[in-house]
Chains A and B, each alone.
Chain A
Amino acid sequence: MIEIKINLNSKDYMEYLSKAAAVINGHKDYITKLDAETGDGDHWVNLNMGFEKLLEQKELLEVMSLSDMFKKIAVILMSTIGGSSGVLYGSAYLKVSQVIAGEDVITAALLKDILAAKLEGIMERGNAKPGFKTMIDPLYRAHEYMIEAFHNNSSDEEILLAMKEGAAYGMNETAQMKAIRGRACYRSDKGVGKLDPGAVTMYYQLAALVEYIMEHS
């Protein structure tokens, strides 16, 4: 059996983003329907446009240093996605570019820090916390489960599985939450009973990262 190691450079990260983009692209109807039920139905269109733009710039991005690449990703997502999601994804990747300065490869420990940086960027910009029924929830749980795995001296494979399990848990728990941010918070039912579409697309990205690393180790 081959041991799974977390070890990603810029080119690997762009390969992962291609995978994430394909997953997002394949869920148009599901995400749009979810968003139309609680928001204004444009989340998939905008996010998909952002990821398509990233792929157009793939050749340029994959030869950059990790830090420069993350900064460029931030700018592209911010201006292409627009609205609330654009600025939140932009803030997340800007924070990552700071955390990762000087590094050439993403290891397990660095991946944990990257998730923490994304969380910090989104929570600061959105003035939001876990439990607000947003994209934060799967990211928060993924990070939390990873920390737990680190405490248990887990292997990289176990760390990745914990990350994916946490992401799924965080996504699913948004169904029972009352929306405190975003358009769903103006609804009298606060979107209770429905998954948050932003949390679902965040889950896709986290799960795709885990799957990409598993497949390419």
Chain B
Amino acid sequence: MKKLINDPNRVVTEMLEGMAVTNPNIIYHKDFEVIARKNKPKKVGIVSGGGSGHEPAHGGYVGIGMLDAAVAGNVFASPSPDRIIKGIKEAHRGKGVLLVIKNYSGDIMNFEMAKELAEMEGVSVRSVIVKDDVAVPESTYSTGRRGIAGTIFVHKIAGAKAEEGGTLEEVLTVAQKAADNVRSMGMAMSSCILPGVGKPGFVLGENEIEIGMGIHGEPGIEKTNVKTAKEIVNILCNKILSDMDYINSEVALIINGLGATPAMELYIIAKEVDDFLKAKNVTPYKYFVGNFMTSLEMAGCSISLLKLDAELKRLLDAPCNTIGLKVGD
């Protein structure tokens, strides 16, 4: 294992310390692995979190126009309820708190338990669950679709609505609308190594890629041979468009790198996505290209499409200032 670390057991703490020293607008609560906004206006609080290893998610999205607090778990493991309650309390300014949860059984259980405990202490808490990954079939029986990079859109939309003074119910409604209208899919070219484990959980061969792989290395739809950017975009976008009707709509896009993919390749993917969508009468309105929801040093990408209406467009364009995402006035 080759990693730029000091101690495998301290990667989460040291990473969050690094975020805090480099961003004067956030504070790190060490015993709880919580990153919170320093200046918190009286508004609905937005809290997200989950396992570490997906940076800049989620500590990198704390700031004006997005999250008020982010709660980190160990690498790829949900934070426990006591940490999440700390995040809720940090974000609470008397107007209630919205939790943005990615759809994994561990995250759901820990966030819901924290929600119940915080409500017993008198904080109004609502939650929205993001399940944007079309690679996994939706199911009411099993946990169902995973939450991946599309979650960033939900942070952005909910954060903007809270910033402009929306009530908890209004923020919940628009966050749910964003979650309902976002679809994503990814692919991987190489595995990742958990610092505490020291070796990859799976191996892809020299000429092998995996379509639909999850952000913890969970299996996708199929292993196949290396393909061109155009072919990859065709596979991912066709699957996304077959899941939701985007024809004649405007969309916002995240072209997301999983950690080890060069920006060069992400822009090649972006151009292919643009060509693909225009040919299908889908109109790209705004692109975000970069590493937004990573999987340690995994190579690969994911594509997320958010179907827009006037309200979502306005909230998407509202300013935000965080480590991971900046939108200007």
Do A and B assemble together?
yes
Q: Is residue A185 contacting chain B, with contact meaning CB distance below 8 A?
A: yes
Question: Contacts A84-B78, A180-B142, A186-B136 given: A41-B201 contact, CB under 8 Å?
Answer: yes
- A181/B105 contact (C-beta < 8 A), A78-B80, A86-B80, A186-B218 known: yes
Chain A binding surface SS class: helix
Contact size class for B?
A: 20 to 34
A90 CB, nearest partner CB in chain B, Å: 7
Interchain CB contact under 8 A, B113 and A87: yes
* Interface pair A84/B219, CB less than 8 Å apart: no
Let me know if A87 and B81 touch, CB within 8 A.
yes
Min Cβ gap A28→B in Å is 13
B143 in the interface (beta carbon within 8 A)? yes
**What 0/1 readout, one digit per residue, does chain B (285-296) give for beta carbons within 8 Å of chain A?**
000000000000
**Known: A40-B216, A183-B216. Is A82-B80 also a contact (CB below 8 A)?**
yes
A101, CB-defined interface residue at 8 Å: no
A79–B113 CB distance below 8 A: no
Q: Return the chain A residue nearest B83 by Cβ.
A: A79
Cβ-defined contact, B105 with A84, below 8 A:
yes
B211-234 contact mask (Cβ, 8 Å, vs A): 1 or 0? 000101111000000000000000
Question: A130 contacts the other chain (Cβ, under 8 Å)?
Answer: no
Contact residues of B: prevailing secondary structure: loop
Q: Given the complex of chains A and B, what is the CA–CA distance between A141 and B264 in angstroms?
A: 56
| Cα(A182)–Cα(B201), bound, Å | 16
Q: Cβ of B76 and Cβ of A40 under 8 Å apart?
A: yes
Known: A45-B196, A87-B113, A90-B113. A82 touches B78 (CB 8 A): yes
Chain B CB within 8 A of A216 CB: no
Do A42 and B105 form a contact, CB below 8 Å, given A125-B113, A185-B143, A187-B219?
no
Q: Does B186 count as interface, using CB distance less than 8 angstroms?
A: no
B79 contacts A82, CB within 8 Å?
yes
Known: A40-B201, A186-B218. A90 touches B81 (CB 8 A): yes
Among residues of B, the one whose C-beta sits closest to the C-beta of A125 is: B109
Contact across chains for B142 and A181 when beta carbons are under 8 A apart: yes
B73 touches A82 (CB 8 A): yes
Inter-chain contact A188/B219, CB cutoff 8 Å: yes
Residue numbers in A under 8 Å from B217 (CB-CB): 40
Shortest distance between the CB of A154 and any CB in chain B (Å): 36
CB within 8 A of A182: which of B78, B81, B105, B113? B105
Q: Are B197 and A126 in contact (CB under 8 A)?
A: no
Residue on B nearest A41 in the bound complex, by CB: B197
Taking CB atoms, residues of chain B closer than 8 Å to A82 are 73-74, 77-80
In the complex, what distance in Å separates the CA atom of A36 from the CA atom of B110?
Answer: 23
20 contacts between A and B (CB under 8 A): A40-B194, A42-B74, A42-B197, A79-B83, A81-B80, A83-B73, A83-B74, A83-B77, A83-B78, A83-B110, A86-B80, A87-B106, A88-B109, A91-B109, A125-B112, A180-B142, A183-B216, A186-B146, A187-B218, A187-B219
Interchain residue pairs A-B with the least CB separation, the first 10: A84-B106, A186-B218, A83-B77, A87-B109, A79-B80, A82-B80, A87-B110, A79-B82, A180-B142, A83-B106
